[in-house]
Amino acid sequence: MGHVSESSYQYMVLVRTVLGELHAWEWLGILIARLAVGLLFLLSGRGKLFVPERREQMRQTLLKARVPFPEFNALFVSTVEFLFGLLLIAGALTPLACVMLSGVMIVAIATTALRNIKATSSLGWLSEFCICLKCFISSSCSGSFFPAQAGSAWIA
């Protein structure tokens, strides 16, 4: 071992072993993240689809944001949230679910939230937005978009 003491060597072996074991449990973190994000969208979409007051609130938000066809879009967005949240929970078509739910979030942020961001410059919020978007996509869409590379990523 030379210049490395026995206790330092044992510590390095322990750290390497723990990291190896954590890597073996990586799937659990991915599963929990996917279930949490899917449940969030499922419950949000369910409320807007099946509770008339929530759907009207959504319609009013779309009217205020000047989104065209607010009645149709309220129903469309709610359905996308509900169905693709359910697919994400089930682990079916996760890349498609992630793309659809990311699209809903990007449009929601672009039409409503951007006006409320207080930034020193017109692009001052961009780095924070990109970090949040990356975290959302990486936590809920982990895996490959290419089924040939990841076995059956369209199902997993």
Q: Where are the domains of the chain?
A: 28-140
- Other beta carbons within 10 Å of 87: 20
Residue 49's H or E segment, with its range, is helix 26-50
pLDDT at 16: 86
pLDDT at 136 over 90: no
Over residues 81-92, the pLDDT tens digits come to 999 999 999 988
pLDDT at 149 over 50: no
Residues in the chain: 156
Rg (CA), the chain: 21
Cα separation, 46 vs 38, whole angstroms = 12
CA–CA distances in Å: residue 107 to residues 62, 77, 114, 149: 11, 10, 10, 30
Q: What are the b/e assignments for 117-144, b being 16+ CB within 10 Å? A: eeeeeeeebeeebeeeeeebbebbbbbe
